[in-house]
Amino acid sequence: MISFEKAGKRFGTLDAVKDFTLEIRDQEILGLLGPNGAGKTTLMLMMGTVYRPTSGAISVNGLDVVKHPNDVRKLIGIAFQDPRVDGILGAFDVLNWHLKMTTTLGKEERAERVEQVLRAVDLWDARKKRTWLMSGGMRKKVEDCKVLAQRPSIAVFDEPTAFLDVPSRLLMWKMIRELRDQGSTVIVATNMMDEAERLSERVAIVNRGKLVAIDSPEKLKSTTKGGEVLELTVGVGQQFPRELLAEFSEVQDVTQTENKVSVYLTSGRLLLPKIVETLTNRGVKIDSVHLKEVTLEDVFLNYTGQSLD
Amino acid sequence: MERDIRILFSDTFLVGIMFANFCIDLFVTAATFSNLISSSYFLMIAPGSNFLTAMVAAFQSGRDVWREKYIKDLASYLFTLPVPRRLFAASRVAGGVARSVIATFPGTLVISYLYGILFSPKLVDAFVIVGLFSLGIVGLSMAVSAFASSIEVFATVRSAIQLYLSFLSTIFYPASLFPVIVQPIVETNPMTWAMNAFRSLSGQGSSLGPIAILVAPSLAFALLGIGCYLWYARL
């Protein structure tokens, strides 16, 4: 189990992470969802003993990351958002060296493991190609493969499918699930809603260095009032008159970000024509209307008051 | 042009180093080459060239360390590897020494042949001297990289150190040929100690004494490099 207890990290006058408390269960896939700069990477680097927490405590399988950094490092493998690979080396050598440093596997076992993952992600034929000559997607695969081949107790993936095409994304998700099935606890930091929703058993929403909410994607969505969202685009600079919707008991909440208005409600299909009519009769200029079910993005918007874009 | 000039003068440290380099170039280099003719190439110049190569290769370690942190951001990955930090720092120094010894391997062999020590135990001494010298320079380069705010600062400081080690030492000719006022600087230059140790291999006597002089400063610089790297590793 990984435990963050009021953990904080301050850089100068900036609190990248503040009073962060979270417990990550063994063999779960936890999604860390938040916008860029939310503190996800800082959290992972504190857990990986690269950054020392400036307050609070973090323990990994009962080991304090400050007191037992080397023991903690033996448990963790991190695939970084931007591939951290020696460009002059080929994929095979990058992975082989990584396994040599992080596992007790012998030479032949390492070679087998590396071949297995490189074939799985369709990089075997390019195994000798210098990584600095590879495309962004290929390099990202190599980065992810470091952890997939390592099979650590705690596997951390930072934006694991950034730069990947759709088939590769699906494959990577499958491989991450298999890693969990083999016994690893998996933490996936992402700002992609579908990734968090489809991959994670629990999602922790992080914003401005703080934990905002944590639960399964379904339960998080159920916490959002209404169950449906009516998205309206109004004229630029127009302040939406929320009081006009007060007469509808089905409307639970209304939020506005610039010219986009989200109306959280029930019975949206029945109500939509009435709401539009009411608003247009009062002179509200509506550019577009879209009714949908609540998504994690709405949950995020609801908890943080801002979108992930 | 204005922007370039502003940038140039925005760092007084850089300007100071540049001025120092200029002075060394003007007064030392010219003086050095004007006295080369009467020197024995194999005794004086060839080992010096070999040590210059060792110095450049050793300085590459510091440059790599700097690039790992500020350009490629490899440092944060390397620090997640399950290796104790002190061991990791020491291994970086050792890796730099190995690279330097490898870079000078052919040169050391050729000079050893010319000195007539290729098939004697003194060949080991030759490599020990190159290794000890490289150890100090790798440590120094890692210390510089820890404090360099930009690659330009690193390159400028490196140039200044390299000029000092090259032209205010006995690489090209004996200390007695330097102006009297400069001789104490030349005599206390680590490059001079390394050169003296290496040149002693061509004689009949033991070279243990000259080698021993190199040990303390090399270890001191290596420890400085390790210390600075550990400080620098606190991301």
| Nearest CA-CA distance, residue B80 and chain A, Å | 6
Residues pairing with A154 in the sheet: A76, A185
CA-CA distance, A101 to A190, in Å (whole number)?
Answer: 27
3-class secondary structure, A62: coil
The verdict on residue A304 lying in a domain is: no
The verdict on residue A216 lying in a domain is: yes
A262 and A170, same structural domain?
Answer: no
| Nearest CA-CA distance, residue A265 and chain B, Å | 46
Q: How many distinct structural domains can be found in chain A?
A: 2
A239 and A204, same structural domain?
Answer: no
Q: Hey, where are the domains in chain B?
A: 2-232
Residue among A309, A237, A244, A250 at smallest CA distance from A277: A244
* Contact between B52 and B171 (Cβ < 8 Å): yes
CA-CA distance, B169 to B183, in Å (whole number)?
Answer: 9
pLDDT (tens digit per residue) in A34-62? 888 888 989 999 999 989 999 999 999 99
The CATH number linked to A23 is 3.40.50.300
Containing domain of residue A169, as a range?
2-220
The verdict on residue A303 lying in a domain is: no
The reported pLDDT for the residue numbered A309 is 55
The CATH number linked to A272 is 3.30.70.260
A280 and A150, same structural domain?
Answer: no
A55 and A147, same structural domain?
Answer: yes
A166 and A41, same structural domain?
Answer: yes
- The CA-based angle A274-A279-A285, given to 5 degrees, is 130
* Contact between A151 and A125 (Cβ < 8 Å): no
Chain B hits for A76, Cβ within 8 Å: 80
Chain A hits for B72, Cβ within 8 Å: 84, 87
Decide if B79 and A74 are in contact by the 8 Å CB cutoff. Answer: no
3-class secondary structure, A103: coil
**What ipTM, to 2 d.p.?**
0.78
Residue among A41, A113, A107 at smallest CA distance from A78: A41
> Which pLDDT band, with edges at 50, 70 and 90, does B168 fall under?
very high
The verdict on residue A301 lying in a domain is: no
CA-CA distance, B15 to B160, in Å (whole number)?
Answer: 12
CA-CA distance, A275 to A254, in Å (whole number)?
Answer: 13
Tell me what the mean pLDDT of segment B159-165 comes to.
91
Q: Helix B46-70 vs helix B208-232: angle between axes, to the nearest 10 degrees?
A: 10
The DSSP element (H or E) to which A286 belongs, if any, is strand A286-293
> Which pLDDT band, with edges at 50, 70 and 90, does B7 fall under?
very low
Half-sphere exposure of B7 (CA within 13 A, CB side): 7
Which residue, A176, A195, A220, sits at the end of a domain? A220
| B198 pLDDT above the threshold of 50 | yes
The verdict on residue A306 lying in a domain is: no
Here the contacts of B181-189 (C-beta below 8 Å, separation 24 or greater) are B182/B28, B189/B164, B189/B165
Instruction: Please state the φ and ψ torsions of residue B35, each to the nearest 5 degrees.
Output: -110, 15
The verdict on residue A52 lying in a domain is: yes
What distances in angstroms separate CA A123 from CA A82, A92, A134, B228, one per listed residue?
A: 18, 9, 10, 39
Q: In A, residues 70-109, which contact B (CB 8 Å cutoff)?
A: 70, 73-74, 76-78, 80, 82, 84, 86-87, 101-102
Tell me what the mean pLDDT of segment B168-182 comes to.
88
A254 and A118, same structural domain?
Answer: no
Decide if B84 and A70 are in contact by the 8 Å CB cutoff. Answer: yes
Decide if B81 and A78 are in contact by the 8 Å CB cutoff. Answer: no
The verdict on residue A100 lying in a domain is: yes
A96 and A65, same structural domain?
Answer: yes
Chain B hits for A69, Cβ within 8 Å: 85
The verdict on residue A279 lying in a domain is: yes
